[in-house]
Amino acid sequence: MDEKIDASNKVQTIQMFINLVLFSRSFSESNLFPRKGFQNQVQVKNPNLETMEEDILYHLSLSTKTHNLPEMFGDIKFVCVGGSANRMKAFAQFIHKELELSGNPEEITDICEGTDRYCMYKVGPVLSISHGMGVPSISIMLHELIKLLHHAQCQDVVLFRLGTSGGVGLAPGTVVVTEKAVDYSFQPQFEQVVLGKVITRSTELDEEVASELLQCSSELQNIPTVIGNTMCTHDFYEGQGRLDGALCSFSHEDKLEYLRKAYDAGVRNIEMESTVFAAMCRVCAAVVCVTLLNRFEGDQIKSPHDVLVEYQQRPQILVSHFIKKIFLFYQQFVVLFSYN
């Protein structure tokens, strides 16, 4: 990068810096990522961890005693999670190319190769991790991921869930950036049973992140994007009102009535992980999912394979554009002040 930046570019870069500071401060209400100024370490809300000599992140095949987590992960700024192991490997290779990092993206290695539960790839300041399917699988991964970021002393981290979903009144291929993750009753909450008692946690996400992603979509071609609520269910069939499962106790009319209620409540897509992701990561996170079909028009996914592959790449392209803008800004910022 040329170290000589003209005056107009300096002004633009300084303005970007101001915007990023404001953007960073918008995360101040997060439970797990409290802000005290500009650099803030990921926190955990469990005092029991302080008394442990070793924390074994069993499902990630990592440990505080056998691995130097600050050295391995301390520079992480963006974490992208998604259900499919193959998809998250492909995303890691894609973001490697987008950020123009050194090395061969085809040679990236799975940090979690010691386990078959999840995969994890580190690409510069980006961590790409699979989480499996459904709330139980992603919640296990999130517990250990958040502890990993804490032990690694990571600061100012933004998390994204990249996924697929069923659209509610949207054409297939539309990307939905979640405003609120809602449950089956369209409430922005996640219910967790703890020691036989139901604990309710908020699932509201940061509006600034969603707005920035929407702006990024306008800078790209063929990435139709909307902001809307995402309904999280406990299964793919009955919980989502599908008529084609092994069990079905409702009619086509019942299904349409429920979907109409969901649409009126602001729901624009349905998936199976967003509420726990939002509850655990809160306002330093975003859920970005593409729709594979319009549920008002059917239950089965009938698009050709090549079309589905292209659809699944849309959230990756959008989030990578977001990451790339901030990554390049940091480079400009360093050059600007080293030049001065």
Binding-site residues for phosphate sit at 117, 161-164
What distance in Å separates the CA atoms of residue 253 and residue 169, rounded to the nearest whole number? 16
Among residues 33, 177, 60, which one has the least CA distance to residue 129? 60
Binding residue positions for substrate = 240, 242
Decide: 188 and 294 in contact? Cβ < 8 Å: no
Binding residues: 117, 161-164, 240, 242
3-state secondary structure the chain: CCCCCCHHHHHHHHHHHHHHHHHHHCCCCCCCCCCCCCCCECCCCCHHHHHCCCCEEHHHCEECCCCCHHHHHCCCCEEEEECCHHHHHHHHHHHHHHCCCCCCHHHCCCCCCCCCCCCEEEECCEEEEECCCCHHHHHHHHHHHHHHHHHCCCECCEEEEEEEEEECCCCCCCEEEEEEEECCCCCCEEEEEECCEEEEEECECCHHHHHHHHHHHHCCCCCCEEEEEEEECCCCCHHHCCCCCCCCCCCHHHHHHHHHHHHHCCEEEEECCHHHHHHHHHHHEEEEEEEEEECCCCCCCCCCHHHHHHHHHHHHHHHHHHHHHHHHHHHHHHHHHHHC
Closest to 165 in 3D by CA, of 88, 268, 265: 268
